[in-house]
Structure 1
Amino acid sequence: MTDERYGKCDVCRYCVHSDEDWACMINNKVVSAKQSCPRYRPGCCENCSHATIEFGNAVCGITKQPTDILNVCDKYDPCGRLSLNDQ
């Protein structure tokens, strides 16, 4: 992947920040915005902001269909957004 944002904490939905202070909600640790996460699984439903995950089951918010939590989506974007063509 050539995108420089790929795998960085500042595009992860599990990282929160206040000004320059970043924290990982998965590991309960302080991180930096440009740090890379070893748990990062690019494109999988587990890390998708469009997926609804309950008790290990995932439902795609785009297709509204059940999916595997580790499924990799063809609409994946490193910032977790849909492409302009999908909106």
Structure 2
Amino acid sequence: MCRECGAVYTVTDLAQEFCSPFCRVAWNNRARLRGAKLYEAVMTWRVLRQPGGFAAVTALVSDFLDEDRAAGRRWRPRTFNPKTGRRERRK
């Protein structure tokens, strides 16, 4: 199942996560943007030590999950296999 659009495809490689290059690029672009937002929230929380800083971080992640649910995307964990140097889905 594609991580981006949810399309079911014939898996020829257990580590395949996307049905097309378009879906892979879209997913990675969103991950980079979210990572930048999360980085700012965590750094602000850590450096300024503001009360409620961690709550802001968790609220941001909740917003990400809500966006994914609204778009029909399901978050799945990735695993990294140091022996192969590749990410592999859990079976």
Smaller-chain TM-score range? under 0.3
Structure showing greater relative contact order (alpha-carbon pairs closer than 8 Å, 6 or more residues apart): 2
TM-score (normalised: structure 2): 0.22
If each structure's strand is expressed as a fraction of its own residues, which one has the higher value? 1
What's the TM-score, normalizing by structure 1? 0.23
Which has a greater percent of helix? 2
Highest Rg: 1 or 2? 2
